Amino acid sequence: MLSMHSSPLGNIGEKDTGGMSTYLRELSCEMGKMGLQVDIFTRSTGVGEDEKIKLLGPGARLIHIEAGPQHKVNKERLPDFVQEFAVKLDDYRNSEGLCYDVIFSHYWISGLVGEELQKSWQVPHINMFHTLGVLKNAAGIGKPDPRARLETEKKLARDCSHTIVPTAREKKKLTLYYGVSPAKISVIPCGVNLERFRPLDKEAARANTQLSREEKIALFVGRPDPIKGLEQLLKALNRLPYAASLRLVVVGGNGNDIARWDKFCRELQIPFPVTFRGTVEHHLMPYYYNAADFCVVPSYYESFGLAALEAMACGIPVLAADVGELKKIIRQGETGYIVPSNSPEALATMMETLLKNPGNYDLNVVRNTVSGYGWPEIAGRVVRKCQEVIAANSFSKRRFSG
């Protein structure tokens, strides 16, 4: 697996580190449990010698490759180091006597690496974009992605052996905008760790997260990217007529992001308290979900919507814009609400409904809605697709050993 721009062990909720990191870590560990050997290669940003190879679980490793400066750089610069990354990765493979059956790249920058390695290794290359630049640009929020990304995505989608997308909506858009044959695209949704994300005692979760037992808690989880729609949610708080003791808890972002958001709250004169917790270690997130009365996903665009999946696995209802897979997952009025847009008015109306009817949501019903998204099921589907692609690939003589 290739994840050049983002480490699966990065701080979830920081810039460029979000659901994809969770996806890679959970998927690789699950595949390792199935008896497969999975190596994830990421760009080193100055890790120590003893940290260059990290065991994620049985059969799954994270390997850091030195390419470019040994510190974080803007994503826009990373294509300059693709060739160096690919060469050094191949040097490592040769020095260790490794032989891979398939390349699985994540995001368009890693796709460039995969393209280089596919040529020299003569094995299939499967790609997963996680987000599409053309769809982010269509949302018209934040800085537009460069034309180079769009052109690269189009070429990769056409040239790689196969593409995996998390939703049928993403498959349709990939076909429409990039002219890819539907036969080269498979829909396999993201997964959730159902053992980690499960219902817990709410009072204990509130105590663990140092949140009041008396207040209603709305939870937002996301990277500090305008596409996530946090400002829309903050504006919605000003439109809430219901006089409840509500607190919004925001998980994600660093000190600079929090200062910016806090200033925005003061300018809006929001009548409800907002607590910014910054990045939270992933293993602690079940406490935040369980402490909440509901989770809000106000995004302009999501390729899937992993935070909603984690919240529902904890039995927590979700209010979300019509993005990603969420319209398929959320049962209107039973496990949460889908609003047609992330406008402050639409979000406020449904937040008021959730606040007025806190007992309407059975946590077991909410959790059972996502029971089919456990990682063993999702990893099994990914492995079967890898087997199919290898078997169908004309230059692949080896077979996936699984």
Q: What is the pLDDT of residues 280-327, one digit of tens each?
A: 999 999 999 999 999 999 999 999 999 999 999 999 999 999 999 899
CB-based contact 117:86 (threshold 8 Å): yes
Q: Strand pairing partners for 241?
A: none
Torsion of CA 11, 13, 17, 22, to 10 degrees: 80
Q: Provide the pLDDT for residue 202.
A: 95
| C-alpha span between 333 and 336 (Å, rounded) | 5
| Position with higher pLDDT, 46 vs 92 | 92
CB-based contact 291:213 (threshold 8 Å): no
Q: Distances in Å between the alpha carbon of 93 and those of 100, 160, 228?
A: 9, 21, 38
Q: Provide the pLDDT for residue 227.
A: 93
CA dihedral sign of residues 67, 69, 72, 77: negative
For the entire predicted model, the pTM comes to 0.91
Residue holding tokens 């509901």?
Answer: 294
Written as six digits, the tokens of 153 are 């995505």
Q: What's the mean per-residue pLDDT of the chain? A: 92
Most confident stretch, 38-42, 134-138, 168-172, 213-217: 38-42
- What is the crossing angle of helices 19-33 and 306-313, to 10°? 60
| C-alpha span between 180 and 313 (Å, rounded) | 34
**400 band by pLDDT with thresholds 50, 70 and 90:** very low
Q: Provide the pLDDT for residue 143.
A: 84
| C-alpha span between 224 and 194 (Å, rounded) | 26
Q: Is the pLDDT of residue 401 over 70?
A: no
Q: Nearest Cα to 305, choosing from 326, 334, 290, 286?
A: 326
Q: Provide the pLDDT for residue 16.
A: 58
Those residues whose C-beta lies under 8 Å from the C-beta of residue 73, and which sit 6 or more positions away, are none
332-335 long-range contacts (CB < 8 A, ≥24 apart) are 333/360, 334/361, 334/365, 335/361, 335/365, 335/366, 335/369
| C-alpha span between 122 and 125 (Å, rounded) | 9
Q: Which CATH number fits domain 202-372: 3.40.50.2000, 3.40.109.10, 3.30.2010.10, 3.20.20.190?
A: 3.40.50.2000
Q: Beta-carbon neighbour count of residue 310 at 10 Å?
A: 26
Q: Provide the pLDDT for residue 399.
A: 43
Q: Distances in Å between the alpha carbon of 120 and those of 90, 100, 395?
A: 9, 12, 12
Helix (H, G, I), strand (E, B) or coil at 97: coil
| C-alpha span between 12 and 279 (Å, rounded) | 6
Written as six digits, the tokens of 226 are 């305008």
Q: Beta-carbon neighbour count of residue 74 at 10 Å?
A: 8
**15 band by pLDDT with thresholds 50, 70 and 90:** low
Q: Where are the domains of the chain?
A: 19-191+374-392, 202-372
Q: DSSP secondary structure string, 309-368?
A: HHHHHTT--EEEES-TTHHHHPPBTTTEEEESS--HHHHHHHHHHHHH-GGG--HHHHHH
Mean pLDDT of all residues in 132-147 = 87
CA dihedral sign of residues 125, 126, 130, 136: positive
Q: Beta-carbon neighbour count of residue 105 at 10 Å?
A: 26
CA dihedral sign of residues 259, 265, 271, 272: negative
| C-alpha span between 399 and 216 (Å, rounded) | 54
* Rg of the chain, C-alpha, whole Å: 21
Give the amino acid at 232: Q
Those residues whose C-beta lies under 8 Å from the C-beta of residue 210, and which sit 6 or more positions away, are none
**118 band by pLDDT with thresholds 50, 70 and 90:** very high
Q: Provide the pLDDT for residue 396.
A: 53
Please name the helix (run of DSSP H) or strand (run of DSSP E) that holds residue 127, with its range, or none: strand 125-128
77-84 long-range contacts (CB < 8 A, ≥24 apart) are 78/4, 78/5, 78/43, 78/109, 79/109, 79/112, 79/148, 79/152, 81/43, 82/4, 82/109, 82/112, 82/113, 82/116, 83/116
Give the amino acid at 302: E
The CATH number of the domain covering residues in 19-191+374-392? 3.40.50.2000
User: What would the pLDDT profile of 252-288 be if each residue is shown by its tens digit?
Assistant: 999 999 999 999 999 999 999 999 999 999 999 999 9
Q: Provide the pLDDT for residue 356.
A: 86
| C-alpha span between 314 and 311 (Å, rounded) | 5
Q: Are domains 19-191+374-392 and 202-372 of this chain identical in fold?
A: yes
